[in-house]
Structure 1
Amino acid sequence: MRQSLTILLIVSLICLSAYPQSGWVAQNSGTTSKSWNVYFLDGNTGFIPFNSGEVAKTTDGGTTWNKITPNPGGYLFSNFWLNSNTGWITGLSGQIKKTTDGGATWNTQTSGTTSHVFNIKFLNENTGYAAAGSGFTNGALLKTTNGGANWTTSASLPAVAMFNIWATDENHVWATGLYGKLYRSTNGGTSWDTSSISGYPELRGVHFINNTTGWLVGGFPTTIVKTTDGGATWTAQSAGVSSYLLSVCFTDVNNGWVSGAEGTVLKTTNGGTTWTKEVTGTTVSLYSVFFVNSTTGWVVGDSGKVFKTGGLTGLEDQSLSNGTSPGSFELSQNYPNPFNPSTRISYSLPEDGLASLKVYNILGREVTTLVNEMQEVGSHSVDFNAANLPAGVYLYELRSGKYRSVRKLTLTK
């Protein structure tokens, strides 16, 4: 009976993915301020920081956006969230702030730089990286190993502004900046290899799906490049447009998107061998694109513009739950995702009780049990190592008392 119900959940998930909303649809952000960045935890919960100093949150896939109060303040560039409670925002003049209560309060962290912090990424609750710059110079690469209580600056300071940063694990990190500069580390930022992309573009976006395969995008000139050896060498891809490209996001080795100036959104289904331009219905610059799976994503930009494509707003996660789940019962999207070979799964329990967290393959067969014990109310996390499993889509299920939730994760190799 249990396996039949699990298979039914999987079928429901596949059906939802098979009938996505088509095209890009405008959403009402409630502001006309510019946004440089968007981040989603799953198909429902997402966050957008604005240059007005506000942060907007949605819990229904963007159907409604509400301002998080009190206003964090300051011109904001980037945000990153581990779960619905813990997140960071960055801004002008070295600004980094952290919340552990969903944005109700924000604590200022000492970044150690006066440059603008353009982007921030975290691997877990302790290890995070940030990229910074001021004007065309004063670049900085920052790292923390205690959740941002302390930030250290790389000894080999970049001579140019750094716009974006990406990490796949504790060792492999990439950062991009002006004049085609790429900084690459294989030891967690202890040392960096420096190289330049042909044409010396302003490299704005970086995304790696594992330690070897990644993409960079930029402008002046229009640039998309791909690596399959961790960044040692890069191959140019044809964008088919002349727009300044600003952001890149991939959900697996094949499916990816790029956003840029003049309302540009490009899509590939073959790893970038070919890119096609999508209709967004806008001409404003779109600074950040983010997808939670191969069909559902958002893009944000000038004048408070937010667009969504795919998904069945507000229904995806509900269809995978059994019973009524209060706000304190939460199964977060694993991070990183896609992953290879390890990822972290975080969740919250509304009360003390027996908790069960299991992983299933796409056929509904149990792969492993990660948790099966009495646990206290509150937040928990567990690491899942899939080194011995084949690449593919898996599901993980959390049960506790009358509550239940299921999510997808993608293993790449």
Structure 2
Amino acid sequence: MKLPVKLLLFCLILILSLNILYSQPKWQRVASPTTKWLYKCSFTDSLNGWAAGDSGIIIHTSNAGADWVIQQTGIDYFIEDIFFLNTRLGWAISNDFLSYGPMILKTTNGGNNWNVTRYPDSNLVLITVNFLDSLNGYFGGSSGTILKTTNAGFNWIKCSLESSFFSYFPIRKFSFSNSQYGLACGGIIDINGLIWRTTDYGYNWAIMDTTLEPINDIMFYNDQIVLAAGGDYEYGGAFYKSTDGGINWADSIIGIFGSGHCIAPRSLQEMWISLGFSQLWMVSIDGGYSWLSYNTPDSSAIYDAVFIDSLRGWAFGTYGGIFKYNPEGEIGIKNIKIPESANLFQNYPNPFNPKTTIGYRILKSSKVKIILFDVLGREVKVLVDDYKLPGYYELEVISDELSSGVYFYKLVVDSDGEAGDYFATKKMVITK
């Protein structure tokens, strides 16, 4: 017996629809009001969230991400961090490296207006901000600086860190289980990463763990379980976990290319770590025992992410990238391999001043890009962006326009129309 034509068409459409749904990615790009780099985010509930980054940009949603609008800050410097306590009260921090030092931005009306003040220390670089309530808050920054306020920021006191070789390492993130007990993380690339602990309302901080590379993010999942992320672009992303409130730690260097900028657990089983300019996530679906590599949407560099609950998650990155978590999407795992299409060699000399040479080999005709990044993964300069025939090439880099410090250069090769089918990264050091 033959099926009616309409029924056959209905079945065909249903099958195609199911295939389309099944192939949806876990993270989907949504419309953004800016093309500027978004570096940090803060959400107070499922409706209200903010993201901030390059050139003083702050964007806000009040309708669960259906729309994002730009808020005027009055500054054009990079915003290092943003934190909202509730839908009205929030802070952000920036740094004027030319002369005046740190800037503190505060709003009492959800970001419709921002008041900008300067912290009176031009040698300090502020990196992170966290408030426990409307009066008590913390700033973390360079040279092992932790600042505490008990009066909403009118006055700040410098907290005491355990005296050691690590006393001057920068503070990158705070997390508190209550007003008395909290953790901080930080470190310096190629030297050490650190976790500090306070048990006296933030006045004194003791070292709890040291790691091989910096720790960039830390969070209390509950009173006992603490999660952290970090790593190095040479050795790969790293995951850290404590099950006793941050006293003892299990450290795992995963080896997936990139440095963990943030950790965003959807649950204790499913956790996401963004790897910055490597354009990858590290994702675990078994509580952190094993990790897989996951491509970011549109090969975007993602720097911060958050889950409001198990169904709602947000991520932010370069070129105004806003990405919404899709709980129905599939986890498309990237097969990590290095095709035989190119080679990137270590620059020589290294460290250098005033110039160095980068060598690279292209094995088949390809679109080639070499990008220079700073130690935080921010794009500094595109060194090469051209179509290359097979052969060996050398590139000279001059340090005149660059400050001293650690940089990374990344080779991306697009051959046979397959974007980014080869990439490799090396580290260079400028000394002045």
For this structure pair, what is the TM-score category when the shorter chain's length is used for normalisation? 0.5 to 0.7
C-alpha distance 72-82 of structure 1, shift in aligned 2 (>3 A): farther
C-alpha distance 72-46 of structure 1, shift in aligned 2 (>3 A): farther
5+ residue gaps, structure 1, are 1-18, 313-413
After TM superposition, the structure 1 = structure 2 runs for residues 211-226 of structure 1, keeping only pairs within 5 Å, are 211-220=223-232, 221=235, 222-226=237-241
Query: Equivalent of 2:112, from 75, 79, 104?
Result: 104
Partner of 1:152 in structure 2? 157
Query: Equivalent of 2:40, from 37, 43, 48?
Result: 37
C-alpha distance 182-70 of structure 1, shift in aligned 2 (>3 A): closer
What percent of counterpart residues are identical? 25
Verify the 8 A CA contact 2:307 2:313 in the aligned structure 1.
yes
Query: Equivalent of 1:167, from 172, 176, 200?
Result: 176
2:127 is matched by which residue type in structure 1?
A: F
Partner of 1:369 in structure 2? none
Cα deviation digits, residues 109-166 of structure 1 (max 9, x gap): 5545442222212222122222112xxxx23112222222222221338311121111
After TM superposition, the structure 1 = structure 2 runs for residues 317-332 of structure 1, keeping only pairs within 5 Å, are none
What TM-score comes out, normalization by structure 2 length?
A: 0.61
Query: Equivalent of 1:46, from 15, 37, 49?
Result: 49
Verify the 8 A CA contact 2:140 2:172 in the aligned structure 1.
yes
After TM superposition, the structure 1 = structure 2 runs for residues 77-156 of structure 1, keeping only pairs within 5 Å, are 77-92=80-95, 93-109=101-117, 111=119, 113-114=121-122, 115-133=124-142, 138-156=143-161
More strand, by proportion: 2
Verify the 8 A CA contact 1:112 1:153 in the aligned structure 2.
no
C-alpha distance 164-65 of structure 1, shift in aligned 2 (>3 A): same
Partner of 1:242 in structure 2? 257
Distance 2:267 2:26 in 1: 21
Verify the 8 A CA contact 1:123 1:168 in the aligned structure 2.
no
C-alpha distance 77-70 of structure 1, shift in aligned 2 (>3 A): closer
Q: RMSD in angstroms over aligned alpha carbons?
A: 2.5
C-alpha distance 125-252 of structure 1, shift in aligned 2 (>3 A): farther
Distance 1:40 1:101 in 2: 15
5+ residue gaps, structure 2, are 1-21, 96-100, 329-432
Cα deviation digits, residues 240-264 of structure 1 (max 9, x gap): 6222111012355444321112222
Query: Equivalent of 1:202, from 193, 214, 230?
Result: 214
C-alpha distance 230-113 of structure 1, shift in aligned 2 (>3 A): farther
Distance 2:280 2:140 in 1: 24
Distance 1:125 1:154 in 2: 19
C-alpha distance 71-110 of structure 1, shift in aligned 2 (>3 A): closer
Q: Per-residue deviation at 1:195?
A: 4.2
Cα deviation digits, residues 35-71 of structure 1 (max 9, x gap): 2201122222211112210211112332321111353
Do structure 1's residue 193 and structure 2's residue 206 form an aligned pair?
A: yes
**How many residues get paired?**
288
Verify the 8 A CA contact 1:297 1:309 in the aligned structure 2.
yes
C-alpha distance 145-253 of structure 1, shift in aligned 2 (>3 A): farther
Distance 2:253 2:81 in 1: 28
Task: Select the structure with the greater relative contact order (CA < 8 A; seq sep ≥ 6).
Answer: 1
